[in-house]
Chain A
Amino acid sequence: MQNETRVETGKPEKALWSKGVREHLVAYSFIAPNFIGFAVFTLLPMLFAFVLAFVKWDGANPMKFVGVDNFTRLIQDTTFHKAFWNTVVYTIGVVPFTMACALGLAILLNQKIFARNFLRTVFFFPYVASLVAVAAVWNFIFSPTLGPLNNILHAITGVPIEDLPRWAADKDWAMFTVVLFTVWKSMGYYMVIYLAGLQGINPELYEAAQLDGANAWRRFRNVTVPQLAPTTFFVLMILVINSFKVYDIFINLFAGADNQLNDSTRVMVYQIYNTAFRSLDYGYASAMAIVLFLLVLGITIVQFNGEKKYG
Chain B
Amino acid sequence: MVGTDKRLKVAMVAFVYVLLFLIVLAMLVPYVWMISASLKLNKDVFSFPIQWIPELPRWKNYVDIWNRIPLGLFIFNTAKLAVIVTFLQLLTSSFAAYAFSKLRFKGRNLLFLGYIATIAIPWQAYMVPQFIMMRSLGLNNTHLAIICLQAFSAFGVFLMRQFYQGIPDELCEAARIDGLSEYGIWARIMVPLSKPALSTLTIFTFVSTWNDFLGPMIYLTKTPLKTIQIGLRMFISQYSAEYGLIMAASVVSIIPVLIVFLGLQKYFVQGIASSGVKG
Residues of A within 8 A of B (CB): 1-6, 23-24, 26-28, 30-31, 33-35, 37-38, 40-46, 48-49, 51-52, 59, 105, 108, 113-114, 119-126, 128-134, 136-138, 140-141, 143, 146-148, 151, 155, 184, 189, 192-193, 195-197, 200, 230-231, 234-235, 241, 244-245, 247-248, 251-252, 256-257, 259, 269, 272-273, 276-277, 282, 285-286, 289-290, 292-293, 296-297, 300, 307, 311
Contacts and interface: CB of A to CB of B under 8 A. Distances in A.
B126 to A, nearest CB: 4
B128 A43 contact: no
Interface string B154-184: 1011000000000000000000000111111
Contacts of A269: 124, 214
Interface stretch (B56-64, B65-73, B113-121): B113-121
A256 B237 contact: yes
Given A5-B183, A289-B126, A131 B213 contact: yes
Nearest to A247: B214
Given A4-B181, A46-B121, A196 B254 contact: no
Contacts of A285: 128
Contacts of A40: 148
Listed residue (B37, B45, B214, B250) with the most chain A CB atoms within 10 angstroms of its CB:
B250
Contacts of A256: 237
Given A289-B125, A292-B125, A132 B213 contact: yes
Contacts of B207: 128
B229 A130 contact: yes
Contacts of A43: 114, 118
B258 to A, nearest CB: 7
A4 B99 contact: no
Contact of A49 (B28, B96, B126, B240): B126
A266 to B, nearest CB: 14
A2 B181 contact: yes
Interface string B238-266: 10100100110111011001100110010
Given A43-B118, A256-B237, A292-B124, A34 B273 contact: no
A276 B135 CA distance: 13
Q: In which size bucket is the chain B interface? A: 35 or more
A26 B95 CA distance: 11
Interface of B: 16-17, 20, 23-24, 26-28, 30-31, 33-34, 37, 45-46, 48-50, 91-93, 95-96, 98-100, 103-106, 108, 111, 114-115, 118, 120-134, 148-149, 151-154, 156-157, 179-184, 186, 207, 210-211, 213-214, 218, 228-230, 232-233, 236-238, 240, 243, 246-247, 249-251, 253-254, 257-258, 261-262, 265, 268-269, 272-278
A298 to B, nearest CB: 11
Contact of A5 (B48, B128, B181, B276): B181
Given A30-B182, A48-B132, A132 B124 contact: no
A269 B122 CA distance: 11
B48 to A, nearest CB: 4
A48 B129 contact: yes
A27 B98 CA distance: 9
In order of increasing CB-CB distance, the 6 nearest A-B pairs are A37-B152, A196-B273, A133-B250, A257-B237, A193-B276, A30-B99
A49 B125 contact: yes
A53 to B, nearest CB: 9
B120 A120 contact: no
